[in-house]
């Protein structure tokens, strides 16, 4: 069964992916990415897009912004965000 992700959520997912590409070493942008992905997750669940929501959840499980440190799992998260595009 193919799910139909609403266009506004698709747009926000694309923006989140672009943000992650820039945010690897910037704590404020990492936090913004995490917050945006959390919001997208809730919206996907409300839209009953559970397959995509599971993918977003896997991104969030690996996303752990740290002040003054490079992201330990930036490559894992980057690969997962590419699958969302």
Cβ within 8 Å of residue 45, ≥6 positions away? 53
Per-residue pLDDT tens for 40-83? Answer: 999 999 999 999 999 999 989 888 776 766 666 677 777 777 77
Looking from the CA of 54 toward its CB, the CA atoms found within 13 Å total 3
How far is C-alpha 24 from the chain's CA centre? 13
| Confidence (pTM) | 0.81
What are the structural domain ranges in the chain? 7-84
Per-residue pLDDT tens for 25-46? Answer: 677 888 888 899 999 999 999 9
């Amino acid at each position: 069964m193919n799910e139909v992700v609403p266009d506004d959520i698709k747009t926000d997912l694309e923006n989140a992916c672009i943000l992650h590409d820039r945010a690897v070493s910037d704590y404020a942008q990492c936090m913004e990415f995490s917050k945006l992905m959390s919001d997208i997750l809730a919206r996907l669940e409300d839209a009953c897009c559970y397959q995509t929501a599971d993918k977003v959840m896997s991104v969030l499980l690996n996303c752990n912004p740290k002040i003054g440190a490079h992201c330990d799992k930036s490559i894992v998260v980057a690969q997962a965000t590419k699958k969302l595009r």
